[in-house]
Structure 1
Amino acid sequence: MSKIDTIIFDLGGVLIDWNPEYVFLDVFNNDKEKTKWFLDHICTSDWNENQDAGYPIAQATKDRIALFPEYEKEIKLFYGRWPDMLGGAIEGTVDILKKCIASNDYKVVALTNWSTETFPIALKRFEFLQWFEGILVSGEEKTRKPFKDIYTLTLKRFNINAQNAVFIDDNLRNIEAAKALGIHGIHFETPEKLRQQLKTFNIHL
């Protein structure tokens, strides 16, 4: 295996706890079934990912209300209460990030699916986002994972050789897309498991 000189982190689900259930369990009086149904059928992950690729939030909200007018109030809350969907930092992974940077052995960047309209909220809330050599935000580029162009853009922008890079993401679909371009991948589950997985790439923290 080529020596790893670059570590690429996803953000949501790896370093930052983000979950729309934090809002909608409150909206639906802790009714887990109703919350799941709403997020599976109304404000879906596919719909949210469209905004991650640069679609305007105001228009997306209007579009959704046109489809489901009976849920106008709840749909407006998706982005109206978006900051409440942010949990805290995933501290175990933040510690790994800190050690990766402190070692001075790696270029450390981030590749995230995130709306350019909401990302500034995270930038203000999480100091560690300033530690990266660079962050590629999907909403700014008008594309997103797992599309090929966002990976090739990341490699080009940060001068990364794919075979010398490892990409950490909590979505297996995104890992498979990176691997197709020759980037090594780690499917994130827990910080503890990540430490062990990094050792397979001779990264000891």
Structure 2
Amino acid sequence: MNINTIIFDLGGVIINLDELATVSAFAALSGHPYQEVIQLYQQSEVFKQYEMGNISSTVFREEVRKMIDTQSDDATIDRAWNAMLGEIPIQRLELLLDLQKNYRVMILSNTNEIHETAFNQILQQVSGKNSLHDFAHDVFFSHRIHLRKPNADIYLNLLATSGIQAENAIFLDDKLENLEGAKSVGINTLHITTPDDVFKIKSHV
């Protein structure tokens, strides 16, 4: 491989992620059984639409209220939604900065407005920086470009926007379906099965 570009997912790769923490928080707000709430969480299109920026945060909160049958205020909904976001170990940020010396570094994430605000706050606490743009040459967020992994169009958009060749890029993600999407357009991939797998990138480029 002649790699000159490294593309990182965000959740489960740079920032620790526990989606079930949000399910538990939603269940606590709703009073409905956990298994019922996790089924709603997994089946609802609301989350995908929000990740693609097709609905506003206001509409998203209202849809969550309806879904889990709660009258909770905005701040409470946001806390439950952000429950999945864990810490950002400084070593991973230092890795991004180190790789920038020899590679073009990008971040490609399925995310949303509420989460972007929250992880920027976590980032500021950890590093003193306010944005992931301080750690990557390019940042692609699904809700800003209205495209979503694992659909091929989001990877094609990244390639076209950045002017890089698929065979010269490698993409790191914790979800196999997202890696398959990248492979479908010719991007090399590395599966991150535990967060610290991210450091293995140095032996792959």
Same fold flag (TM > 0.5): yes
Distance 1:73 1:135, change over 3 A: same
Aligned to 1:134: 138
1:11 aligns with 2:10: yes
* Displacement of 1:28: 5.1
Identity %: 25
Q: Which sits farther off after the overlay, 153-162 or 107-116?
A: 153-162
* Counterpart-to-counterpart distance in 2, 1:39 and 1:48: 13
Q: Which sits farther off after the overlay, 166-175 or 115-124?
A: 115-124
DSSP-derived class of the 2:11 partner? coil
Maintained 8 Å contact 2:16/2:195? no
Maintained 8 Å contact 1:13/1:170? yes
* Counterpart-to-counterpart distance in 1, 2:61 and 2:98: 40
* Displacement of 1:148: 1.7
State the AA in 2 paired with 1:141: I
* Counterpart-to-counterpart distance in 2, 1:191 and 1:61: 30
What are the Cα deviations for residues 83-141 of structure 1, in whole angstroms up to 9, with x where unaligned?
A: 4432101455444323312xx11000111111134313322321472211110111011
Maintained 8 Å contact 2:88/2:122? no
Maintained 8 Å contact 2:23/2:34? yes
* Displacement of 1:160: 1.4
1:107 aligns with 2:65: no
State the AA in 2 paired with 1:153: N
DSSP-derived class of the 2:111 partner? coil
* Displacement of 1:38: 1.1
1:56 aligns with 2:61: no
Structure 2 spans left out of the alignment, 5+ residues: 124-128
* Displacement of 1:21: 3.3
State the AA in 2 paired with 1:16: I
DSSP-derived class of the 1:87 partner? coil
* Counterpart-to-counterpart distance in 2, 1:176 and 1:150: 13
Maintained 8 Å contact 2:170/2:188? yes
DSSP-derived class of the 1:17 partner? coil
1:38 aligns with 2:37: yes
Q: Which sits farther off after the overlay, 163-172 or 143-152?
A: 143-152
Aligned to 2:182: 178
How many residue pairs were aligned?
Answer: 193
User: Structure 2 length as normaliser, TM-score?
Assistant: 0.78
User: Structure 1 length as normaliser, TM-score?
Assistant: 0.78
1:72 aligns with 2:76: no
Maintained 8 Å contact 1:15/1:91? no
Aligned to 1:88: 87
Maintained 8 Å contact 1:8/1:165? yes
Distance 1:42 1:179, change over 3 A: closer
Distance 1:75 1:159, change over 3 A: farther
What are the Cα deviations for residues 173-196 of structure 1, in whole angstroms up to 9, with x where unaligned?
A: 110010010000111112444444
* Counterpart-to-counterpart distance in 2, 1:27 and 1:159: 41
